[in-house]
A and B are shown apart, each in its own frame.
Chain A
Amino acid sequence: MRRSRRVVLPDKDHQACGLFGVIDRSGRRFSGEMAIEAMTSMKVRGNGLGGGFAAYGIYPEYEDYYALHVMFQNWDMEAKHRVDEFIDANFDVVYAEEIPVNPDANVYNPPLFWRYFVSPNKKGEDKKLSDDDYVVKKVMEINTGIENAYVVSSGKNMGVFKGVGFPEDIAEYFMLAEEYKGYMWTAHSRFPTNTPGWWGGAHPFCILDWTVVHNGEISSYGTNKRYLEMFGYYCTLLTDTEVMAYAVDLLMRKQGLPIEIVSKIFAPPMWDIVDIMDEKKKRFYTTLRMNYGPLLINGPWTIIVARHGEMFGITDRIRLRPITSGEKGDMLFVSSEESAIRAVCPELDRVYTPMGGEPVIGRLRSREKEIAKQLSEVE
């Protein structure tokens, strides 16, 4: 279907971004259609200045290689040349191509997107780093060192597709319904308020296989950003959400904390609630605040964080942004609005809204078993 190009007038009739996430806990892979349809039903939550999707399990043929999606602003071929050289010097590239797009899709002025399937080629001092740490370091070097080039996605067997437009337009541009099958999808419709609407600033944000979609604003951005800089994460994408992606990478991948603890760092209980806890809990929450105070995420927000095998949705501690979760058999949904879940799955076994700061967790059944085994070994 070809639609005429149109220039859209951004206005403020409606507010707040739209989020949606779905996982098939059996690991079955399905096309992007479901996520696209859900986002379309929440069209009023966005204003056409950003839409995006993260899909997991889409590159099984290259599952052992990091899939780098790189965006070249203004089709800057000089930047492309420099990135090619940089990647050749630091990685072994098994395959690289321009990400296929549908030129008839209704998007305005898209940049150039390439994907590189790579494995690390570490030299000298870098040999001490783990593969993941090495990739993070190199992604940061591209993002901060090469003008007009941004790595928007850097995990294995997953990818982020995002840009300026409504989510269904972005999906049409990258042909997500036709080209890709994943077992987990997260999606975002943007209503930018404080930061520019540009292709790199659309959600999801990604580092390695971590992705974050976010509705709201992070009032503590400055504090969070400075804290993360101490650990080598640099925010370059002009949007507050970026800190979330780096924070979960630091806390969950590098420090190995489970979601249950991380949610208490991002959205700790109020002090007056801590005051009435028993001594053990009081000590735990006080210790957490002393160590991780700078990663308290303040302001109104709902996020959906995903990595291979699991995703979780959570809001700020006094829930200033909405979230609803639904389950049907192996399918688990998290969304800004219940109606978006019902649009793609009218009959649900269970639908509920967690308290502010309490995560909704969707894990692959295989991962659940693995975690249960780990826990029993600890005991």
Chain B
Amino acid sequence: MKYSIGGFCDLFLDFCKEVEELRDRLKLDGKLAIIDAKGLTHKELNDLMRYAVFELGARKFKLLNITGQRYIGTRLWAPNMEKLEIEVHGFPGNDLGAFLGGHKIVVYGNAQDGVGNTMDDGEIIVYGRAGDVVAMSMRGGRILIRDDVGYRTAIHMKEYKDKVPVLVIGGTAQDFFGEYMAGGRVVLLGLNLGDKPHRARYIGTGMHGGIMYIRGKVEQWQLGKEVGIVDMDDEDWKFLEKHVGDFCKEFGFDKDEILSGKFLKLKPVTKRPYGKIYAY
């Protein structure tokens, strides 16, 4: 038993295979590594990817039969390295691209909870929907989700100087959208709603930095107490032109039609919404 302590074994790590045993799962074609992930645990898959990058020099990945493996794209960073392109076919597990250090991940399927958790740089593109807490604590890079997202999207997203994370969502979001947001830009397009309003409640509760753009119908009662509606200016339209443009190019939507819709710009009313609650 590899990880045993005092006669006990680790119920997860002890049953993961070593990279050598998994070598036949990996096919290398020049710099492209193709991995059949059927039945692999997340540790086995991520070990294998790390091995392909740092031992075999792979720079592109095609991951097949992904079913619920977590943390894909994490643990693949090194200083001054060429950025990787990772194609995910299937349904990746939670925390896809957590702490992502500049690589690009494209998912052909739906993603689950925690996409881009504390992501630092790079890009995640999802041809489908994603679950709760998308872009949680994200601090750089860009995420494009074609369909809907779940609860607490962009919770505590942040920015610093020129590091400004961007999240574009094609569908709609559920409650606590942009909760405690501290920075970054979030765009919600509502493309699959037709004439129906967004259903999210408590939008921007606790928000104290960054900007949200929402296309489609939202009533005042759906907004948290800490955000206010402000007018769009040229900078905003320039920003949308670029990122919604890229979104449309990626997923094949009509940019002009989307941008002709009505956008709501939301900003926090104060930088310290709870400043008076705590005693010093």
Contacts and interface: CB of A to CB of B under 8 A. Distances in A.
A337 B112 CA distance: 7
Interface in A1-37: 6-11, 13-14
Interface string B3-14: 011011111101
Given A41-B68, A319-B132, A355-B199, A338 B9 contact: no
A276 B219 CA distance: 12
9 contacts: A6-B9, A7-B8, A7-B9, A47-B11, A318-B151, A322-B150, A337-B94, A340-B68, A356-B175
Interface string B83-117: 00000001111100000000000000010110000
Nearest to B93: A339
Contacts of B215: none
A273 B201 contact: yes
B131 A324 contact: yes
Nearest to B94: A337
A338 B91 contact: yes
A9 B5 contact: yes
A13 B131 contact: no
A9 B8 contact: yes
A353 interface: yes
A353 B92 contact: no
Given A8-B8, A339-B91, A356-B151, A42 B68 contact: yes
Given A44-B70, A339-B67, A353-B174, A322 B11 contact: no
Contact of B110 (A8, A10, A338, A356): A338
Nearest to A341: B91
Contacts of B90: 342
B68 A318 contact: no
A13 B150 CA distance: 24
User: Most chain-B CB neighbours within 10 Å: which of A47, A276, A322?
Assistant: A322
Contacts of A324: 131
Contacts of B92: 339
A339 B110 CA distance: 9
User: Most chain-B CB neighbours within 10 Å: which of A43, A273, A337?
Assistant: A337
Interface of A: 6-11, 13-14, 41-44, 47-48, 273, 276, 318-319, 322, 324, 337-340, 342-343, 351, 353, 355-356
A342 B9 contact: no
Contact of A9 (B11, B67, B94, B112): B11
A343 B68 CA distance: 8
A260 B150 CA distance: 22
B60 interface: no
B221 interface: yes
Interface string B119-133: 000000000010110
A339 B68 contact: yes
Contacts of A351: 110, 129
Contacts, number: 82
Nearest to B4: A9
B42 interface: yes
Nearest to A344: B67
Contacts of B14: 6
A41 B67 contact: yes
Interface in B2-59: 4-5, 7-12, 14, 41-42
Interface string B196-213: 000101000000000000
A8 B11 contact: yes
B176 interface: yes
Given A6-B9, A339-B68, A353-B150, A318 B199 contact: no
Given A9-B8, A11-B12, A355-B175, 18 more contacts: A9-B10, A13-B12, A14-B12, A41-B68, A44-B42, A44-B70, A48-B11, A273-B201, A276-B221, A318-B176, A319-B174, A322-B112, A322-B150, A338-B110, A338-B131, A342-B67, A342-B68, A355-B199
B280 to A, nearest CB: 30
Contacts of B10: 9, 11
Interface string B65-92: 0011010000000000000000000111
B175 to A, nearest CB: 7
Nearest to B90: A342
Given A273-B201, A318-B151, A338-B110, A343 B67 contact: yes
B125 to A, nearest CB: 18
Contacts of B9: 6-9
Nearest to B11: A8
A243 B8 CA distance: 34
A130 B185 CA distance: 61
B91 A322 contact: no
A365 B205 CA distance: 42
A13 B132 CA distance: 20
By Cβ-Cβ distance, the 4 closest A-B pairs, closest first, are A339-B68, A9-B8, A8-B11, A339-B91
B164 to A, nearest CB: 28
A305 to B, nearest CB: 21
Contacts of B70: 44
B175 A322 contact: no
Contacts of A43: 12, 41
Contacts of B132: 319, 322
Contacts of B176: 318
Contacts of A8: 8-9, 11
A356 B150 CA distance: 10
Contacts of A273: 201
